[in-house]
């Protein structure tokens, strides 16, 4: 028999560590045969103990290659020129990509056959293999990063008295049958690569930024932090009707909650772009990446028909009682504005879904009052008070922690003690903060 290396044949004189790479490359491509006991030039030198070599390779494969590839390998000992040669027949695997367990599902751990050599696969090739094996559903695909932690998600599960152990993670499809994390696990992990960008604008357009933030981490962490960010800016307007005081927030809390959950659950995570939330004086816009699912139009959504893009993610939110049932979110948003003159607006494009929540109190906040000076000259006074970035940060800190001290302001704004004192005095004078305590116990709370 003539031995010659090719795209489907690899020759090895003895067992070496690189054999694992060759086996992975064949299993990731079109299969091939590995001959042990043959030099690169085709010279047969044979093996003293063929059975021992077969066992050695089998142990290497079982311990070092993931997912399990053993069912796609067949071992045989042939005699050539009176010498024993071990033949390992490797079939194309069904759970590609296969990779070195120590290296992970990265180019340095995944190999493919290129000509007569086994070379690291590109990120694109790895993603293509995952898609071919796992299908098109992003959340069900195996995650490229297998070094994940879940601190924020564990806290959310504990808060809602729900177990988050390996068995539950398998049931929720964060872990597959091979013990590998799915992309759903990535979304709920502290290493989540998808973000939400929130911007606050002065006025009704994007001319002047008042604040901007990018929220990262687990979707659970983003959910809580983004809601708190919006809730802090969701002001309350009090009116008197006869003998009763009526408090009305700019945006119904249930509408904000449902719009945010819709953005998280229905987003198309196969796109790397961030989701956007824009806060204007007269509205909030929630823009989620990914348009409507095929076969569904806006009218269907408004009557409660829902085809969920991320079924497993929606199931996690359902288990945590964050959503009640599929298709109810839009109805709740509309019902929250049922008695209002202004109504939410839904807009869709091929790759985006936008929910616009109008500010119920905007007509009061933006009214201009005309007064006259002593000389009779008309002057227009705007009723809204625009906060500086420093004031926004201080108020947000005080709200989150219940109070703030001068030392807190120094660290928060990275300013001197005198500057911190000046800012605090101004905020007390304008009734934004209220001083509590004296001397070393002095602290400040949000003025009521």
> pLDDT tens digits, residue range 308-324?
789 899 999 999 999 87
pLDDT of residue 291: 80
Say yes or no to pLDDT of 238 above 80.
no
Calculate ∠ Cα 171-172-174, nearest 5°: 105
What's the Cα-to-Cα distance from 364 to each of 184, 242, 249, 383, rounded to whole Å?
44, 19, 12, 9
At residue 365 the predicted structure's pLDDT band, cuts being 50, 70 and 90, is: low
Q: So what's the pLDDT on residue 426? A: 87
Q: Are strands 433-436 and 378-382 parallel, antiparallel or unpaired?
A: unpaired
Specify the pLDDT at position 328. 74
Q: Which pLDDT score is estimated for 189?
A: 97
Q: Is 38 left (phi over 0), alpha (psi -120 to 50) or beta?
A: beta
The whole model's pTM is what? 0.64
Measuring CA to CA, how many Å separate 313 from each of 34, 227, 265, 351, 355?
43, 19, 6, 20, 20
Whether residue 247 is predicted with pLDDT greater than 90 in this model: the reply is no
| pLDDT of 305 | 67
Domains of the chain: 9-132 (3.30.950.30), 196-364 (3.30.565.60), 387-446 (1.10.10.10)
Q: Which residues contact 422 (CB under 8 A, 6 or more apart)?
A: none
Name the average pLDDT for the chain. 87
Q: How confident is the model at residue 374 (pLDDT cuts 50, 70, 90)?
A: very low
State the average pLDDT over residues 381-394.
67
User: How does residue 184 score in pLDDT terms, banded at 50, 70 and 90?
Assistant: very high
pLDDT score of 133 more than 90 = no
Coil, strand or helix: which one is 110?
A: strand
Following CA atoms 379, 380, 384, 386 in sequence, which dihedral angle do they give, to the nearest 10 degrees? -70
pLDDT per position as a tens digit, 58-92: 999 998 999 989 999 999 999 998 999 999 999 99
Q: Is residue 380 predicted with pLDDT exceeding 60?
A: no
pLDDT level of residue 430 (50, 70, 90 thresholds): confident
**pLDDT digit string, tens, across residues 264-312:** 999 999 888 899 999 999 999 999 988 877 667 777 777 666 677 898 9
Mean pLDDT of 108-123: 93
| Model confidence at 418: pLDDT above 50 | yes
Task: Say yes or no to pLDDT of 23 above 90.
Answer: yes
Beta bridge partners of residue 80, listed in sequence order: 83
Top-ranked range on mean pLDDT: pick from 188-192, 208-212, 329-333, 441-445: 188-192
């Amino acid at each position: 028999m003539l031995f010659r290396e090719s795209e489907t044949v690899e020759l090895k004189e003895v067992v070496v560590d690189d054999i694992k790479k060759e086996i992975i490359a064949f299993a990731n491509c079109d299969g091939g045969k590995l001959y042990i006991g043959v030099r690169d030039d085709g010279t047969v030198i044979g093996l003293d103990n063929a059975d021992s070599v077969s066992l050695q390779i089998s142990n290497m494969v079982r311990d070092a290659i993931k997912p399990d590839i053993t069912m796609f390998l067949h071992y045989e000992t042939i005699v050539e020129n009176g010498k024993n040669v071990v033949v390992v027949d490797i079939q194309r695997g069904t759970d590609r990509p296969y990779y070195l367990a120590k290296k992970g599902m990265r180019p340095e751990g995944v190999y493919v056959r290129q000509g007569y050599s086994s070379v690291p696969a590109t990120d694109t090739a790895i993603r293509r293999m995952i898609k071919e094996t796992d299908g098109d559903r992003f959340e069900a695909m195996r995650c490229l990063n297998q070094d994940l932690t879940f601190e924020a998600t564990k806290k959310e599960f504990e808060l809602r008295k729900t177990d988050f152990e390996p068995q539950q993670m398998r049931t929720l499809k964060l872990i597959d049958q091979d013990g590998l994390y799915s992309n759903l696990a990535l979304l709920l992990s502290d290493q989540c690569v998808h973000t939400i960008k929130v911007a606050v604008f002065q006025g009704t357009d994007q001319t002047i930024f008042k604040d901007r933030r990018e929220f990262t981490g687990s979707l659970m962490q983003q959910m809580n932090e983004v809601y708190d960010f919006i809730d802090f800016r969701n002001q309350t307007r009090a009116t008197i009707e006869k003998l009763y005081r009526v408090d009305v927030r700019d945006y119904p809390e249930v509408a904000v909650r449902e719009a945010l959950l819709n953005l998280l659950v229905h987003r198309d995570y196969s796109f790397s772009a961030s989701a956007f939330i824009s806060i204007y004086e007269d509205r909030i816009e929630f823009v989620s990446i990914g348009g409507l699912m095929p076969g569904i139009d806006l009218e269907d959504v408004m009557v409660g028909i829902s085809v969920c893009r991320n079924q497993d993610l929606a199931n996690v939110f359902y288990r945590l009682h964050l959503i009640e049932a599929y298709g109810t979110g839009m109805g709740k948003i509309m019902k929250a504005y049922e008695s209002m003159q202004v109504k939410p607006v839904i807009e869709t494009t091929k790759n985006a879904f936008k929910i616009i929540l109008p500010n119920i109190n905007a007509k009061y906040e933006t009214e201009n009052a005309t007064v006259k000076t002593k000389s009779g000259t008309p002057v227009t006074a705007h009723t809204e008070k625009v906060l500086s970035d420093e004031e926004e940060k201080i108020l947000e800190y005080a709200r989150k922690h219940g109070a703030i001290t001068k030392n807190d302001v120094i660290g928060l704004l990275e300013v001197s003690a005198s500057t911190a004192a000046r800012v605090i005095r101004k905020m007390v004078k304008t009734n934004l903060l209220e001083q509590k305590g004296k001397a070393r116990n002095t602290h400040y709370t949000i003025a009521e």
